[in-house]
Amino acid sequence: MSRVKADHQPMIYAVGGGKGGVGKSVIAANLGAALALLGRRVVLFDADLGGANLHTFLGMSSPALGIGTFLSGKVGRLDEVAVDTSVESLRLISGAGAGLETANLKYAQKSKILRHLRKLDADEVILDIGAGSSFNVLDFFLAADQGILVLVPEPTSVENAYHFLKSAFYRTMKDTEPKGQIRQILSRVRGELEARGIHSPRELVEQISREDLEAGMSLERSLKAFRPGVLINRVREPGDRRLGDDVSLACRDYFGTGVSALGSLDYDSLVHQSIVRRRPILELFPGTAFARGIMSLGERLLRGSG
Partner 1 sequence: MKDGQRVRDLEWLDLDPDAGDAEVIAECRRRLTLYAGDHPAIYSLMSEEERHRMLARIDGILSRLKKPDSGPPLSSTPVVEDSAEGVPAAPDSEAGPAPDPATSPGDFLRYLRRSCGMDLREISAETKVSERQLEAIEEEDFSALPAPVFVRGFIIAVARALKVEKPEELAGIYLEKIAGGGS
The footprint of Mg ion (CB under 5 A) covers: 24-25
**Subset of residues 186 to 205 that bind partner 1, contact rule: CB under 8 A:** 196-200
> Which residue, among 84, 72, 76, has the nearest Cα to 44 in the 3D structure?
84
230: β partners: 149, 261
CA pair distance 96, 89, nearest whole angstrom: 21
Q: Which does 23 bind (CB under 5 to 8 A by kind): ligand ADP, partner 1, Mg ion, none?
A: ligand ADP
Its sign, for the CA torsion 210, 213, 218, 224, is: positive
Q: Are 219 and 208 in contact (CB under 8 A)?
A: yes
Maximum CA extent, the chain: 59
The distance of closest approach from Cβ of residue 256 to ligand ADP in the complex, given in angstroms and rounded to an integer, is 28
CA pair distance 8, 153, nearest whole angstrom: 37
CB atoms near residue 141 (< 10 Å): 27
DSSP states of 46-109: E--TTS--HHHHTT----SSSHHHHHTTS-S-GGGG-EE-SSTTEEEE--TT-SS-GGG--HHH
Q: Which does 153 bind (CB under 5 to 8 A by kind): Mg ion, ligand ADP, partner 1, none?
A: partner 1
**Subset of residues 158 to 177 that bind partner 1, contact rule: CB under 8 A:** 158-159, 162-163
Q: Which does 275 bind (CB under 5 to 8 A by kind): Mg ion, ligand ADP, partner 1, none?
A: ligand ADP
Q: Which does 243 bind (CB under 5 to 8 A by kind): Mg ion, partner 1, ligand ADP, none?
A: partner 1
Q: Is 153 among the residues that bind partner 1 (CB under 8 A)?
A: yes
Q: Which does 268 bind (CB under 5 to 8 A by kind): partner 1, Mg ion, ligand ADP, none?
A: ligand ADP
The distance of closest approach from Cβ of residue 155 to partner 1 in the complex, given in angstroms and rounded to an integer, is 5
Q: Which does 288 bind (CB under 5 to 8 A by kind): Mg ion, partner 1, ligand ADP, none?
A: none
Residue 168 CA to its chain's centroid (Å): 11
DSSP structure class, residue 127: E
The distance of closest approach from Cβ of residue 235 to ligand ADP in the complex, given in angstroms and rounded to an integer, is 8
Which residue lies nearer to partner 1 by CB, 4 or 195?
195
Q: Which does 45 bind (CB under 5 to 8 A by kind): ligand ADP, Mg ion, partner 1, none?
A: none
Q: Is 217 among the residues that bind partner 1 (CB under 8 A)?
A: no
Which residue lies nearer to partner 1 by CB, 29 or 148?
148
Contact residues for ligand ADP, defined by CB under 6 A: 20-26, 233-234, 265, 267-268, 271-272, 275, 290
Q: Are 11 and 5 in contact (CB under 8 A)?
A: yes
Nearest-10 crossing angle of helices 155-174, 201-211: 20
Q: Is 267 among the residues that bind partner 1 (CB under 8 A)?
A: no
Binding site for partner 1 (CB under 8 A): 153, 155, 158-159, 162-163, 196-200, 243, 246-247, 249-250, 252-254
